[in-house]
Structure 1
Amino acid sequence: MLLGFVHMGVLQAQTLPAGFVSSLVSDGWFSPVGATWDANGRVYVWEKSGRVWIMENGVRLPSPMLNLVDEVGNWADHGMLGFALDPNFTSNGRIYAMYVVDRHHLIHYGTPNYSSLTNDFGTATIGRIVRYTAIGPSFNTVDPASRTVLLGETITTGAPILYNTHGVGTLLFAPDGTLLATIGEGASAASADLGSASESYFAQALNDGIITAAENVGAFRSQLINSFSGKVLRMDPNTGDGVPSNPFYDPAQPRAPRSRVWELGLRNPFRMTHKEGTGSTDPTTGDVGTLFIGDVGWYTWEEMNVCTQPGQNFGWPLFEGFSPAPGYPDVNIENRDAENPLYNGVSCTQRYFRFKDVLKEDTPVHVNGHPNPYDAGQQVPNYIPKFFHSRPSIDWRHGNQSRCGAFSGDTAITFDLDDPLSPVPGPRFGGNAPVAGPWRAWSGFPAQYQNSAFHADYAQGWIRRFEYNAQGEVQTVHDFASGLGMISWMGQGPDGCLYYLKYGTGAELRRICNTTTVNLPPVAMATQSVQFGPGPLSVSFTGSGSSDPENGALTYLWNFGDGGSTSSLPNPTRIFTAPAGQPAMFTVTLTVTDNFGQQATKQLVVSVNNTPPVVAITSVNNGATSWWGLIPFSN
């Protein structure tokens, strides 16, 4: 299915374990898709449209750190979904962004035909990764001249985007300093896309050189070593080149797709996380540690995958979850990366191996491996990449079924988690779009919650706790929270709490903390009777809606931004003045403090002698966008 970025969740009451609370950190976001922290505790939140904002001491800075709105193709599932700070950000100021490029910008930027007011959505384009360097004493903005394109410097060198979903995903750094990126396969979600799907943008992409003829295989691009599609990529953050310890690295072509591929066989790996404490700091060893990859499914099954070694193949489109994917396993699509050495045009007429010849279901003992279809006594040569399916740790159905994998003799089987015979006990659950979440020792949570990964489902708004052993094998699954709204991202904050972004209308950055181990900061709530008017303007403020998660007493401090006195009342009134005819704006800040000194702030704006205009929209261009995608019109 499409990830959607639309209102697809089911409204339900919020549930959390005893001793846990979910509290607001910040609101007023516009399609937020990720957050991260620097070493000084500042929060960086990025929005799908192409903006990155900094929050300092709970307050969002007035201007974005990075603004790529003119370049980012913000339509349907696409936009700027990936962002990362360099591991040495506080000293080198480097930041990294990954996004789908607006085709109009891609084709026309730098020419007389370019206009920042024009977009070209619903057409073939590319995914791009760029690096910028922040400047200034606080690194609050970037130097435009520092821009370096790591992937997608031209229309022929980016990640192919041929449909309105399955684009770019996550950017993160491995412990060895290499940059990892997840890329969708860019194929149609409306049919079994075997190439040339009429609803996709394949013809335009072929004409532009976005894909080669060999890549016109639809969802099977995820199985092509020489394609960025459906992969986890691993790059040198200085150059964007592949890393020599990558599994398919070609020293003669360090920027070729195969040189940058780390894992393959993915459909829409929207969110990926790294297991803290795993991996080497030496990039030559090829050990990035354990990765959790949530791969959004198509027809039936959603996957939570665990990556522990290079070159794993997660099976799409021959497999969806543990099962064969409908419409794909029985087709005879050729893999142009895999030439059959027996081909002679007479006794062997199959020049290339089929995708199903070089990817087989996993078994405990690989007895017959990958036989050549024209001579079962010979194996597919070892110089051709061949794979066994890396089965998911858990998959779940669009309805209400969750499974783990097992083997019966030499046959791959599954168990429902709630089956008494299941080797992985857990609840029965369903969902529509997995979101891989964080893992760590969780010092901020009680002992029974530590050494676990917390994964979510975007559409269903739940979080579940997955326990894994040291080998990355899931041991148990537990319910944790539900009714949270659409979750576009999860991570751990420096305070030990679990943070998540609630997407959609009323988008918020929220956190779940344990009240028995952490003194939570209060929640500041502030409203005003009027926002603007002629002076002198009397404004009544209400702060008594603020709260403390532990139900402790709060103290209030209002700073009215006019250079006058402050107020410690929860609900004060203030008269704002300005010379007649001269507009003035005042930023009012409420700070609430709990018994242990934890603080939270909320800002309001009062405008004197400056009433805003009233906007009247009489028409909207066909193909314009809202936050949920295209606005179509017909005559």
Structure 2
Amino acid sequence: MMLHRLVAGALTLPLLVGTPASASASSEPEPRLPGRFEQRVVVDDLYIPTAAAFAPDGEIFVAEKSGVVKVVARPGARPAVFADLTEEVHNLYDRGMLGLAVDPDFPQRPYVYVLYAYDHVLGDPDPAPRWGTPGSSYDECPDPSDGGPGAEESGCLASGRLSRLTAGATDAGWVMTGEEDVLVEDWCMQYPSHATGSLHFGPDGYLYASGGEGAHYSQVDHGQVEAPYWPGGSNPCGDPDLEGGSLRAQDLRTPGDPLGLSGTVIRIDPDTGRGAPGNPFAGTGDANLERIVAYGLRNPFRFAFRPGVAPTRPEVWVGDVGQGGFEEIDRFRVGAPAQNFGWPCYEGPARNPGFDPVDLPLCESLYDERSAAAPYFAYPRRGKIAGESCPDGSSSVSGVQFAASRTYPDRYDGALFFSDFSRQCIWVMKTGPGGLPDPDRVRPFLPGAASPVDLLTGPDGDLYYLSLGVDASGNFEERGGSLRRIRFAAGNRMPTAALEADRTWGPDPLPVVLDAGGSRDADGDDLAFAWDLDDDGRFDDATGRRVRAVLDGPGDAVVHVRVSDARAQDVASLRLHPGDQGPPVLDVTAPSRSLRWAVGDRIPLGATAVDPDGSEVRVSWAVVVEHCPGGLCHSHEVLGAGTDPDVVAPDHEHPSYLRVQYRATDERGLSSTESFRLEPRTGDLRLRTRPKGLRVSVAGASHRTGWTGTFIVGSKVSLSAPRVQRRRGHGGRGGRRVVFRRWSDGGERSHVVEAAEGRLRLKAIYR
């Protein structure tokens, strides 16, 4: 999956955090939830969280993309570090720690399981990190000009790892003790997307994990784009002539070479990592084959189990992120023959137009067999789902889950919820007459969801979702990620507390006006206000919507307001900084705002900052690709929390631009940020055929020529021409059969061209 997000508008404004003008804190419910549903933040102060799990005794464990695992003692408590695996985790683009599970018998079995992109090459005797830098939370892939492979050129080779961590109790809470117990290392990854996916215990007590095929995310990659950068000349990803690139998802169908786990769902023993009893290939003697329960998947980012099904034969529902055509929700039963969902030969309900014309043996035999399983539900990556109002233009299914709340209305019994990160939306698929979720009964549930990257069912049965933490201007917020609960208020609805201050820093003592007037009650009840101004846990310092206070240092002051109706209450808090002269003053020195880039360009980065108080300042920056098809934008992090002096411009579809984000933070946590966009240089590609009007595949999509597309200069564009097709006859009827002869540039029937400025004209010639 590409980690996507929605841009609220086309304008990009510099942001300054911690100014004396005002500051606010609120737990604001989403007004567009249906009926009496409301959402609340349960855990915040997270940085790019990607997975969460509830422990049976109440703790909440959260994985951050960088490789840090945090634990929250209870909802509302501050997260504490449980484990730090940043040195082992390869945090690049969409790689990172993406899966997390807690043993169902925790703490009697004190185990936490993690699934992540491992900064290591399969079979390489050298330990991690291979590409990353020790002490850095973001791991770059060296550019060819620096003697490296380039993340989007040869690819930055890594693997996936599933490990068991042991939890030990301390006075401060749970922490990892001892060494990491590695259960599985596989999932060969060449390009920095389609990495590992989810990790969950099934109702049968076995551990399930998913992983992508590690191929190029924008090109039609069947091995031809690979310029191998294997250590020692070996190839740990299998034979590229048999199952290169996306064809790794069909590796099970090439028995003559070692089998990998790319593009699969596996089911294993949580103590040994071996395939679980009852798996389709149990007893074959091949360790990986015995683990697999489903395959032929591109990026099975999330999956869930349907409740009410016999635990001995669980029913798994998988959200598989598509490439050019469709997002899929796939369904299979454990214990049946392993399902092959057909990627890359199929995408959605039909043959993949990027791979079908290439006549690959693995795909042609699959077409002949007609054995690939169709998705249970597929929706177009560009286009509306019936009856919904979520923005379209791009898609990435980011969560699937069944709620089991006894407080939800009966119409949600057995319903499937699924989320889309790019479109910032959560839908519900209600059940039909047979009791299964009905694809004809899909409706929006939460339009405008806050960058949803996973869906969970909580111990209360309610639906929860994990917010990645992307603000309205496209910045990954430093501590903006959160876990949110969606509850149904059958009776009284909770009030919502909101707190603003006219300043957050200034002299010591600090005079401040605190205002809770933005608080509201969805039922229209009268509200009472109580204040804790000395952070002693007692709301006995003031009453009323608006108060004046004088706060003393040294150090920060935290104030709280409790907002109550007759039956429920909510609290908002705010941190202020007496004796601080303000946030750092940030000076961005590079790049120039007028810089226009092409793929592979080296873009200089630079900024300095001075704190008015003279304290030390930490300056960091990040670079994000904003991809905006149809006006809907989503993000791919290219460089995160960077300290390097430059970044190499990545390859991506047009329309896209780069957003450069700078942050300066002083010793007390006050920060200033600045964000701006850099536009690319572009060129057109004009395609024709002879005879006119035939079809060719461009970057995985089928087009009838003449067709013109716009690409970023330097982009690699995949072209494929069917070997045989028919001319359109009169009235649109089938015409004469024609056979491919050559491309005008002399390229193979399937080849890659590089976009250039101006207009590049190519013709596919048939006879």
Which band: TM-score by shorter chain? 0.7 to 0.9
Q: Does 1:463 align with 2:416?
A: no
Q: Deviations over 1:201-233 (max 9, x none)?
A: 743378465413267521111111221100001
Partner of 2:196: 168
Whichever residue aligns with residue 550 of structure 2, its letter is I
Q: Deviations over 1:225-265 (max 9, x none)?
A: 22110000111111222223221234644xx3212111101
Q: Does 1:222 align with 2:253?
A: no
Partner of 1:474: 438
Change (3 A) 1:110 1:314: closer
What secondary structure sits across from 1:172 in the alignment? strand
Change (3 A) 1:265 1:429: farther
The CA distance in 2 between the partners of 1:185 and 1:109, in whole Å, is 21
The CA distance in 1 between the partners of 2:389 and 2:590, in whole Å, is 50
Q: Deviations over 1:499-532 (max 9, x none)?
A: 22343225444343333x2644443333444444
Change (3 A) 1:235 1:93: same
Q: Deviations over 1:101-137 (max 9, x none)?
A: 34599955489x9632483333111121222122225
Q: Does 1:514 align with 2:514?
A: no
Whichever residue aligns with residue 392 of structure 1, its letter is P
The CA distance in 2 between the partners of 1:9 and 1:99, in whole Å, is 31
The CA distance in 1 between the partners of 2:539 and 2:413, in whole Å, is 48
TM-score by length of 2: 0.63
Partner of 1:316: 343
The CA distance in 1 between the partners of 2:9 and 2:425, in whole Å, is 10
Change (3 A) 1:495 1:264: same
The CA distance in 2 between the partners of 1:511 and 1:395, in whole Å, is 27
Contact kept, 8 Å, 2:404 with 2:461, in 1: the verdict is no
Q: Does 1:115 align with 2:129?
A: no
Partner of 2:355: 328
Contact kept, 8 Å, 1:217 with 1:333, in 2: the verdict is no
Q: Deviations over 1:453-489 (max 9, x none)?
A: 1112221222222234668573632313323343212
The CA distance in 2 between the partners of 1:69 and 1:393, in whole Å, is 37
The range that moved more, 500-509 or 315-324, is 500-509
Q: Does 1:191 align with 2:219?
A: yes
Aligned with 1:211 (options 219, 237, 244): 237
Partner of 1:341: none
Aligned with 1:261 (options 279, 287, 292): 292
Change (3 A) 1:486 1:599: closer
Q: Deviations over 1:415-443 (max 9, x none)?
A: xx79xxxxxxx999966112342214442
Gapped regions of structure 2 (runs ≥ 5): 11-29, 142-150, 253-258, 472-479, 592-602, 606-620, 625-635, 640-645, 650-767
Partner of 2:408: 445
The CA distance in 1 between the partners of 2:522 and 2:50, in whole Å, is 26
Change (3 A) 1:292 1:298: same
Change (3 A) 1:291 1:104: closer
Q: Does 1:630 align with 2:638?
A: yes
Partner of 2:689: none
What secondary structure sits across from 1:438 in the alignment? strand
Whichever residue aligns with residue 264 of structure 1, its letter is Y
Contact kept, 8 Å, 2:168 with 2:174, in 1: the verdict is yes
What secondary structure sits across from 1:276 in the alignment? coil
What secondary structure sits across from 1:203 in the alignment? coil
Aligned with 2:103 (options 83, 86, 92): 86
Aligned with 2:163 (options 130, 133, 136): 130
The range that moved more, 68-77 or 530-539, is 530-539
Partner of 1:384: none
Deviation at 1:46, TM superposition (A): 2.9
Q: How does 1:560-571 map to 2 (within 5 A)?
A: 560-561=534-535, 566-569=540-543, 570-571=545-546
The CA distance in 2 between the partners of 1:208 and 1:546, in whole Å, is 63
The CA distance in 1 between the partners of 2:84 and 2:45, in whole Å, is 17
Deviation at 1:587, TM superposition (A): 4.0
Q: Does 1:69 align with 2:40?
A: no
Q: Hey, which of these two has a bigger chunk of strand by percent?
A: 2
The CA distance in 2 between the partners of 1:9 and 1:124, in whole Å, is 35
Deviation at 1:170, TM superposition (A): 0.8
User: How many correspondences in the alignment?
Assistant: 548
Change (3 A) 1:250 1:17: same
Q: Deviations over 1:557-604 (max 9, x none)?
A: 4152379994242444443445xxxx5344444444443245445352
Partner of 1:393: 376
Contact kept, 8 Å, 1:561 with 1:589, in 2: the verdict is yes
Percent same amino acid at aligned positions?
26
Change (3 A) 1:45 1:258: same
Q: Deviations over 1:589-624 (max 9, x none)?
A: 444444324544535254557977656665799798
Q: How does 1:259-408 map to 2 (within 5 A)?
A: 259-280=290-311, 287=313, 289-309=314-334, 310=336, 311-329=338-356, 331=358, 333=360, 354-357=362-365, 359-360=366-367, 370=369, 388-400=371-383
Q: Deviations over 1:152-183 (max 9, x none)?
A: 2xxxxx21111121111111110121111110
TM-score by length of 1: 0.75
Gapped regions of structure 1 (runs ≥ 5): 153-157, 335-353, 362-369, 371-386, 403-416, 419-425
Partner of 2:2: 3
What secondary structure sits across from 1:221 in the alignment? helix
Contact kept, 8 Å, 1:59 with 1:601, in 2: the verdict is no
Partner of 1:373: none
The CA distance in 1 between the partners of 2:269 and 2:589, in whole Å, is 50
Q: How does 1:413-428 map to 2 (within 5 A)?
A: none
Change (3 A) 1:44 1:194: same
Deviation at 1:27, TM superposition (A): 4.6
Whichever residue aligns with residue 204 of structure 2, its letter is D
The CA distance in 2 between the partners of 1:564 and 1:472, in whole Å, is 50
Contact kept, 8 Å, 2:328 with 2:375, in 1: the verdict is yes
Contact kept, 8 Å, 1:124 with 1:205, in 2: the verdict is no
The range that moved more, 169-178 or 450-459, is 450-459
The CA distance in 1 between the partners of 2:439 and 2:351, in whole Å, is 24
The range that moved more, 44-53 or 617-626, is 617-626
Partner of 1:338: none
Contact kept, 8 Å, 1:195 with 1:202, in 2: the verdict is no
The CA distance in 2 between the partners of 1:526 and 1:71, in whole Å, is 41
Contact kept, 8 Å, 1:524 with 1:546, in 2: the verdict is yes
Q: Does 1:54 align with 2:71?
A: yes
Aligned with 1:596 (options 556, 561, 567): 567
Change (3 A) 1:562 1:491: closer
Partner of 2:454: 489
What secondary structure sits across from 1:219 in the alignment? helix
Partner of 2:210: 182
Contact kept, 8 Å, 1:267 with 1:317, in 2: the verdict is yes
Partner of 2:520: 547
Deviation at 1:80, TM superposition (A): 1.4
Contact kept, 8 Å, 1:5 with 1:77, in 2: the verdict is no
RMSD of aligned alpha carbons: 3.8
Contact kept, 8 Å, 2:413 with 2:431, in 1: the verdict is no
Change (3 A) 1:51 1:526: farther
Partner of 2:652: none
Change (3 A) 1:390 1:229: same
Contact kept, 8 Å, 2:500 with 2:514, in 1: the verdict is yes
